[in-house]
């Protein structure tokens, strides 16, 4: 049976059930607005998340270029940015333009907030959870398409509020994306802590609503709407990753809301959850008894799982793409699942490793060091499994595969520096230096972006029925790989020299001001890498309209269900019956057959890897 | 015009790249998909290999190129006792992770190259190997165990507070507690006076901008000998306990050369205990052996004949975002031998004795001296407000009479707990500038309220004894941190 042509088999399968042809696409997609704007089709919502994410990534990256100009070329005039940044560029008599320090901090803050929440949370897990969960588990849509639609629009609203804060006369919030009080609680501490912080808080609360609506939907869909035969152990690793991500989000994001809510109380209702013994702007506040550290606990109880909310979907995407293009099953499927679960669990009990130097009892840190460094074990398992997947493979080098290999390289480089920072003793000199900047940008910034790019290049044909341009994609990959290391690798050295992060200028310190040439190098590399991302954006939008047309259902020879849907799948995904699943997702090269889709029944006596 | 040209050329670059992309796609169509994919496989696999070699070489070369600037390497060995331990565990971790980094990167790109897609190759079907999984789970776990144990022992030693039975003081086996208050945007450094070596209590409600910046409570006698300094002076090989205060928002007390870092939290004092092991002079000596420190300190100034290592200073920085001026919270830290430290320490006048409750006679003398030295104008500008506020803090503490009387005898009877050099009262009063630390301009002492203290002092209570003690420690303060 398995020796017959697989495509033929699928056709037969589909034709068998043509009578129960019940895709309900038409009712909900009758006009332009319900098709493209308030769409309830998970595929369209995925595209909305992706394109909004690209918009925010562009804004966030452009901000980083402005502050990198300040750091790399402090002597150069920025007067040419005056038309865009207006009063934030201060001109002196000679016409030399300098960036306002307050706006420098606003840029740093917004860059972090936008990238962490809007791009790497919504843009990454929002896009691919929406696109792949129903298609890969064999569901017609999410459990609640309506909530799914709301999830996007709450995200949009959060974004709109944050965007509007950029235009305030007092400037957007500028106290760092972590928004530590009292700086964020007291408008007199910084002008961005006025209206800017209010909008920042409101925006994040709406964002959490979006994440929760999405997350509940993802979990319900994965648990309840799997097609016949799709047991948990037959799910592709992408689905495992999205499921775990959604659970992480559901359990941790509400804590952020509580933290921000108390902050809003402190700001506007005269409470003092976070305030105590403060003398500011010439007067003593009469509110005492709070603790700024409480906020840090609440924030990092979200904040640490958050970095796994960012990276775990990338784990899933990379594992799936790597397996497909290596033409080989992912090495140690169950070990991969268990390591994701272990990392997710541990991510809830390590939050205080962001607070070793915050004034927390040093004894408590012992426990957090222990749990933090334990994460290295499941992470190592993942890395070795990816390398094991490549061993003995027959690798098809396309852009998606390149990005998955690049991801592993970034994850190794960034992960290993985590072993330094997770060890509280070494964190004493390194905390809040450029070493930390290098670490988290590589491991959750660049690595997560590589996972996202790997997913976009791979599933672009599924989303738009066209291919992205491979040549431009490869230029994008190699340029970004080299460029990203050029930006962030030298930051390790600056950090090891003790240079603190979030400094507008290093001129005031003899110990920190000797790195001008490296900073210039980093900024130049950043500008080039930014240009390469614009190339990606051009490629993306060009390919939507002009890319090579996809004609075949399953262009990569992949096993998962999304490639059994028609090229132009309507709402409901499969015109006929939903396909049934008979095996796990990774039968590549089994018994000499290049790939055996999940829809192909097991042979007599054949053992399924996904069976218990 | 130039800007337009730049924009046009950037657009042109993108257009060219897009055209290359399109042409290549057409070429793929002509060559056939299979062959094009094989060619791509070969090219990119080789690229990967080249990248790996270049990257690993870059890692090694760049590390050694920057080694001498990094803390813990080259000349930047730690200037504190616990810092050396931290550098040790750092190096251990660096070696272990370095090995893993090299092995995994070589495997990653070598396998990518070796198993690139080729005609006729079939991928091996290896779904899992539990033995291997076990190996790469257990080995990292063991390595991590060692790092955790090593790291935590260093951590607990670094963060250990002073023993309960340890005494405040400058003698062998005692420790000195200094208070550092972070504010927007600077640091206030308060030393306990030599009477008791204990910092007096503070209350944020007592803070008066430009006057009582740390909010000392004058009813606490321990405050009467406390003084503020503009430079963080530390004695070598003596245990230091820094009490870290955040006055408005979070700050972070950061001494890079000593591997000291701790947040300043409003409402909750934090502590860091450490022992400096190298004086500023010794550190300069160790820097002098490195070529980059032989450069001129200020190449733009031909008058400045100093080399970089000769002007080196330890620095105190803020490492927690605290507002617009976060990057500017700098203070000089100077480690000196104990003898020199005591000299400096005893030269400092307490704020209480000079501003809050100063002796009449001293005042007069002081003014004369100042005038002689040409400082008269400076003083005059700051009289008044500071003093007016100060006086109410110390109501009823001493009378001017007893004050000056004690003082006259005091200079030679020296009841202080530490050694002190002799000095005239006149100059010690002049040195009252210690309270200036909070001033934005960072200039030396303003001697606020000097002229008016004379009259005010007459209404003061009777705490002459304390004042006497303080005065006994007087000595000339001319050098130091001006």
Closest listed residue to residue B213, CA positions, set B440, B477, B382, B469: B440
**How many domains, in total, are found in chain B?**
2
Cα-Cα-Cα-Cα dihedral sign, residues B104, B110, B116, B120: negative
Instruction: Please give the residue of chain B at the shortest CA–CA distance from A106.
Output: B324
- Tell whether B391 and B289 lie within a shared domain: yes
Task: Measure the CA–CA gap between A291 and A288, rounded to whole angstroms.
Answer: 9
- Tell whether B460 and B365 lie within a shared domain: yes
> Which chain A residues are within 8 Å of B97, Cβ to Cβ?
416-417, 419-420
* Residue range A197-242, pLDDT digits in tens: 999 999 999 999 999 999 999 999 999 999 999 999 999 999 999 9
Beta strands in B196-287 (DSSP E): 227-229, 232-235, 239-246, 251-255, 260-264, 270-274
Instruction: Give residue B289's pLDDT.
Output: 87
Distance of residue B170 Cα from the nearest chain A Cα, in angstroms: 27
Instruction: Specify the residue for token string 């929440």.
Output: A117
- Does residue A553 sit in helix, strand or coil? coil
Instruction: Give residue A20's pLDDT.
Output: 42
Q: Which of A281, A429, A589 faces B123 most closely, judged by CB atoms? A: A589
Name A595's bridge partners: A588
Q: Which residues contact residue A69 at a Cβ distance below 8 angstroms, ignoring those fewer than 6 apart?
A: A76, A78, A99, A523
Give the HSE-up count for residue B361: Cα atoms under 13 Å, Cβ half-sphere. 13
How confident is the prediction for chain B on average, in pLDDT?
77
* Statement: residue B374 has pLDDT above 70: no
Task: Measure the CA–CA gap between A74 and A89, rounded to whole angstroms.
Answer: 13
- Does residue A280 sit in helix, strand or coil? strand
Task: Measure the CA–CA gap between B103 and B126, rounded to whole angstroms.
Answer: 22
Look up the CATH number of the domain holding residue B291: 2.60.40.420
Count CB neighbours of B442 within 10 A: 12
Q: Please compute the mean of the pLDDT values over residues A158-167 and round it to a whole number.
A: 95
Q: B41, A426: Cβ pair inside 8 Å?
A: no
Q: How confident is the model at residue B360 (pLDDT cuts 50, 70, 90)?
A: low
Instruction: Answer for the pair B313, A510: CB distance below 8 angstroms, yes or no.
Output: yes
Instruction: Answer for the pair B230, B444: CB distance below 8 angstroms, yes or no.
Output: yes
Q: Which of A328, A385, A481 faces B51 most closely, judged by CB atoms? A: A481
- Residue B427, domain extent: 167-472
Q: Which of B123, B248, B312 faces A189 most closely, judged by CB atoms? A: B248
Q: How confident is the model at residue B121 (pLDDT cuts 50, 70, 90)?
A: confident
* Residue range A275-319, pLDDT digits in tens: 999 999 888 998 889 999 999 999 999 999 999 999 999 999 999
- Tell whether B173 and B34 lie within a shared domain: no
Instruction: Please give the residue of chain A at the shortest CA–CA distance from B62.
Output: A490
- Tell whether B172 and B154 lie within a shared domain: no
* Residue range B71-110, pLDDT digits in tens: 988 889 999 999 999 999 999 999 999 999 999 999 999 9
Distance of residue B38 Cα from the nearest chain A Cα, in angstroms: 8
Q: Please compute the mean of the pLDDT values over residues B152-167 and round it to a whole number.
A: 93
* Residue range A372-384, pLDDT digits in tens: 999 999 999 999 9
Instruction: Answer for the pair A401, A395: CB distance below 8 angstroms, yes or no.
Output: yes
- Does residue A237 sit in helix, strand or coil? helix
Instruction: Answer for the pair B101, B109: CB distance below 8 angstroms, yes or no.
Output: no
Task: Measure the CA–CA gap between A326 and B117, rounded to whole angstroms.
Answer: 8
Distance of residue B166 Cα from the nearest chain A Cα, in angstroms: 20
How confident is the prediction for chain A on average, in pLDDT?
91
- Tell whether B336 and B298 lie within a shared domain: yes
CATH 1.20.210.10 fits A39-275+286-592, yes or no: yes
> Which chain B residues are within 8 Å of A111, Cβ to Cβ?
none
Instruction: Give residue A611's pLDDT.
Output: 67
Count CB neighbours of B412 within 10 A: 8
Q: A279, B257: Cβ pair inside 8 Å?
A: no
* Residue range A451-489, pLDDT digits in tens: 999 999 999 999 999 999 999 999 999 999 999 999 999
Angle formed by the axes of helices A447-464 and A516-546, nearest 10°: 10
- Tell whether B298 and B225 lie within a shared domain: yes
Name B272's bridge partners: B242
- Tell whether B213 and B321 lie within a shared domain: yes
Q: How confident is the model at residue A61 (pLDDT cuts 50, 70, 90)?
A: very high
> Which chain B residues are within 8 Å of A292, Cβ to Cβ?
250, 265-267
- Tell whether B220 and B342 lie within a shared domain: yes
Task: Measure the CA–CA gap between B384 and B386, rounded to whole angstroms.
Answer: 6
Q: A471, B20: Cβ pair inside 8 Å?
A: yes
Q: Please compute the mean of the pLDDT values over residues B443-464 and round it to a whole number.
A: 37
Instruction: Specify the residue for token string 């920042």.
Output: A200
* Residue range A72-125, pLDDT digits in tens: 999 888 888 888 888 899 888 888 889 999 999 999 999 999 999 999 999 999
Instruction: Answer for the pair A197, A264: CB distance below 8 angstroms, yes or no.
Output: no
Closest listed residue to residue B260, CA positions, set B247, B283, B277, B280: B277
Strand B331-336 and strand B232-235: the pairing is: parallel
Instruction: Answer for the pair B190, B178: CB distance below 8 angstroms, yes or no.
Output: yes
- Tell whether B385 and B417 lie within a shared domain: yes
- Tell whether B152 and B222 lie within a shared domain: no
Q: A594, B122: Cβ pair inside 8 Å?
A: yes
* Residue range B205-253, pLDDT digits in tens: 989 888 888 899 988 888 888 999 999 999 999 999 999 999 999 999 9
Q: Which phi and psi angles does B261 have, rounded to 5°?
A: -155, 130
Task: Measure the CA–CA gap between B192 and B199, rounded to whole angstroms.
Answer: 5
DSSP symbol at B256 = G
Q: What is the end-to-end Cα distance of chain B in Å, rounded?
A: 52
Residue B262 lies in a domain: yes
Q: Which of A358, A395, A512 faces B112 most closely, judged by CB atoms? A: A395
* Residues A501/A507/A509/A515 CA torsion (nearest 10 deg): 70
Q: A489, B58: Cβ pair inside 8 Å?
A: yes
Give the HSE-up count for residue A270: Cα atoms under 13 Å, Cβ half-sphere. 1
Instruction: Answer for the pair A421, A434: CB distance below 8 angstroms, yes or no.
Output: no
Give the HSE-up count for residue A464: Cα atoms under 13 Å, Cβ half-sphere. 21
Q: Please compute the mean of the pLDDT values over residues A54-65 and round it to a whole number.
A: 96
Q: B249, A189: Cβ pair inside 8 Å?
A: yes
The pTM assigned to this predicted structure is 0.86
* Residue range B30-82, pLDDT digits in tens: 888 888 889 999 999 999 999 999 999 999 999 999 998 899 888 899 999 99
Instruction: Give residue B478's pLDDT.
Output: 36
Instruction: Please give the residue of chain B at the shortest CA–CA distance from A475.
Output: B17
Instruction: Answer for the pair B172, B213: CB distance below 8 angstroms, yes or no.
Output: no
> Which chain B residues are within 8 Å of A593, Cβ to Cβ?
none
Q: How far is CA B106 from the centre of its chain?
A: 40
Q: Which of A276, A423, A504 faces B327 most closely, judged by CB atoms? A: A504
Q: Which of B70, B152, B265 faces A497 most closely, judged by CB atoms? A: B70
Residue B364 lies in a domain: yes
Name B334's bridge partners: B233
Instruction: Answer for the pair A390, B108: CB distance below 8 angstroms, yes or no.
Output: yes
């Amino acid at each position: 049976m398995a020796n017959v042509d697989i495509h033929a088999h699928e056709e037969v399968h589909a034709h068998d059930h043509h009578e129960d042809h019940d895709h309900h696409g038409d009712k909900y997609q009758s006009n332009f607005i319900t098709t493209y704007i308030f769409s309830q089709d998970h595929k369209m919502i995925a595209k909305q998340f992706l394109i909004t994410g690209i918009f925010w990534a562009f804004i966030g990256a452009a901000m980083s270029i402005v502050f990198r100009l300040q750091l790399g070329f402090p002597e150069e005039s920025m007067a040419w940015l005056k038309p865009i940044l207006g009063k934030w560029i201060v001109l002196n008599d000679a016409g030399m333009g300098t960036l306002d320090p307050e706006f420098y901090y606003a840029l740093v803050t917004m860059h972090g907030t936008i990238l962490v929440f809007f791009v790497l949370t919504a843009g990454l897990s929002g896009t691919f959870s929406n696109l792949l969960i129903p298609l890969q588990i064999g569901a017609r849509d999410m459990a609640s398409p309506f909530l799914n639609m709301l999830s996007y629009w709450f995200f949009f609203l959060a974004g709109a509020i944050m965007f509007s804060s950029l235009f305030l006369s007092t400037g957007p919030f500028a106290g760092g994306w972590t928004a530590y009080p009292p700086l964020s609680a007291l408008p007199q501490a910084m002008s961005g802590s006025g209206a800017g912080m209010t909008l920042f808080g409101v925006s994040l609360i709406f964002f959490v609503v979006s994440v929760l609506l999405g997350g509940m939907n993802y979990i319900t869909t994965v648990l309840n709407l799997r097609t016949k035969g799709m047991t948990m152990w037959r799910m592709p690793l992408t689905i495992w990753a999205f499921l775990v991500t959604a659970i992480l989000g559901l359990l941790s994001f509400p804590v952020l809301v509580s933290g921000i809510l108390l902050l809003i109380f402190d700001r506007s209702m005269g409470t003092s959850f976070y305030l105590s013994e403060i003398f500011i702007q010439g007067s003593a506040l009469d509110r005492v008894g709070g603790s700024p550290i409480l906020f840090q606990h609440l924030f990092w109880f979200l904040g640490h799982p958050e970095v796994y909310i960012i990276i775990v979907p990338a784990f899933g995407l990379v594992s799936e793409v790597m397996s497909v293009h290596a033409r080989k099953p992912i090495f140690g499927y169950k070990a991969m699942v268990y390591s994701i679960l272990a990392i997710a669990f541990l991510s809830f009990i390590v939050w205080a490793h962001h607070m070793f130097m915050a004034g927390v009892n040093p004894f408590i840190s012992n426990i957090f060091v222990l749990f933090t460094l334990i994460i290295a074990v499941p992470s190592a398992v993942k890395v070795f499994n990816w390398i094991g997947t490549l061993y003995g493979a027959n690798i098809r080098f396309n852009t998606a595969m390149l990005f998955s290999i690049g991801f592993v390289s970034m994850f190794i480089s960034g992960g290993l520096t985590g072993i330094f920072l997770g060890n509280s003793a070494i964190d004493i000199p390194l905390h809040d230096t450029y070493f930390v900047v290098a670490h988290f940008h590589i491991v959750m910034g660049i690595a997560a972006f590589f996972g996202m790019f790997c997913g976009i290049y791979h599933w672009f044909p599924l989303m738009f029925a066209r291919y992205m341009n491979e040549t431009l994609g490869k230029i994008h990959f190699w340029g970004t790989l080299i460029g990203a290391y050029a930006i962030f690798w030298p930051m390790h050295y600056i950090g090891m020299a003790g240079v603190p992060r979030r400094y507008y200028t290093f001129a005031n310190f003899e110990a920190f001001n000797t790195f001008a040439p490296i900073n210039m190098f980093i900024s130049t590399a950043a500008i080039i890498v930014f240009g390469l991302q614009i190339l990606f954006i051009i490629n993306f939008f060009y390919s939507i309209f002009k890319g090579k047309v996809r004609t075949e259902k399953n262009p990569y020879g992949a096993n998962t269900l999304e490639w059994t849907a028609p090229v132009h799948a309507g709402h409901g995904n499969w015109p006929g019956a939903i396909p049934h699943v008979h095996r796990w997702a990774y039968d590549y090269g089994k018994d000499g057959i290049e790939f055996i889709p999940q829809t192909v029944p097991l042979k007599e006596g054949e053992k399924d890897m996904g069976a218990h | 015009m130039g800007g337009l040209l730049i924009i046009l050329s950037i657009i042109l670059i993108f257009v060219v790249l897009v055209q290359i992309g399109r042409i290549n796609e057409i070429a793929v169509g002509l060559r056939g998909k299979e062959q094009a994919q094989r060619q791509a496989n070969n090219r990119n696999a080789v690229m990967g290999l080249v990248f790996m070699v270049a990257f690993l070489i870059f890692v090694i070369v760049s590390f050694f190129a920057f080694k001498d600037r990094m803390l813990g390497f080259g000349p930047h060995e730690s200037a504190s006792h616990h810092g050396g331990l931290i550098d040790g565990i750092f190096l251990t971790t660096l070696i272990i992770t370095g090995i893993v980094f090299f092995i995994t990167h070589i495997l990653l790109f070598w396998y990518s190259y070796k198993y690139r897609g080729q005609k006729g190759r079939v991928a091996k079907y290896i779904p899992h190997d539990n033995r291997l999984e076990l190996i790469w789970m257990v080995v990292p776990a063991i390595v991590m165990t060692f790092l955790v144990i090593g790291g935590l022992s260093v951590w607990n030693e670094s963060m250990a507070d002073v023993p309960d039975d340890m005494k405040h003081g400058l003698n062998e086996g005692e420790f000195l507690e200094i208070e550092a208050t972070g504010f927007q945007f600077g640091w206030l450094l308060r030393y306990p006076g030599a009477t008791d070596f204990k910092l007096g209590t503070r209350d944020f409600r007592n803070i008066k901008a430009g006057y009582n910046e740390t909010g000392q409570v004058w009813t606490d006698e321990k405050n009467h000998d406390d003084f503020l300094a503009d430079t963080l002076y530390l004695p070598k090989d003596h245990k230091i306990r820094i009490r870290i205060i955040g006055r408005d928002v979070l700050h972070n007390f950061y001494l890079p050369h000593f591997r000291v870092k701790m947040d300043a939290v409003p409402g909750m004092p934090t502590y860091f205990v450490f022992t400096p092991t190298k004086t500023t002079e010794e550190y300069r000596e160790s820097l002098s052996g490195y070529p980059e420190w032989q450069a001129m300190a200020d190449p733009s100034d031909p008058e400045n004949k100093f080399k970089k290592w000769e002007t080196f200073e330890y620095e105190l920085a803020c490492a927690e975002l605290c507002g617009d001026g976060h990057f500017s919270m700098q203070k000089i830290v100077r480690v000196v031998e104990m003898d020199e430290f005591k000299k400096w320490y005893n030269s400092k006048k307490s704020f209480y004795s000079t501003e809050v409750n100063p002796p009449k006679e001293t005042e007069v003398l002081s003014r004369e001296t100042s005038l002689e030295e040409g400082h008269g104008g400076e003083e005059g500008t700051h009289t008044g407000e500071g003093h007016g506020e100060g006086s109410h803090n110390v109501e009823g503490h001493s009378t001017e009479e007893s004050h000056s009387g004690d003082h006259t005898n005091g200079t030679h009877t020296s009841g202080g707990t530490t050694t002190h050099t002799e000095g005239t009262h006149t100059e010690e009063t002049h040195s009252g500038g210690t309270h200036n630390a909070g001033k934005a301009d960072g200039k030396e002492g303003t001697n606020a309220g000097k002229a008016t203290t004379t009259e005010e002092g007459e209404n003061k209570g009777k705490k002459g004894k304390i004042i006497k003690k303080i005065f006994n420690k007087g000595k000339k303060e001319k050098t130091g941190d001006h």
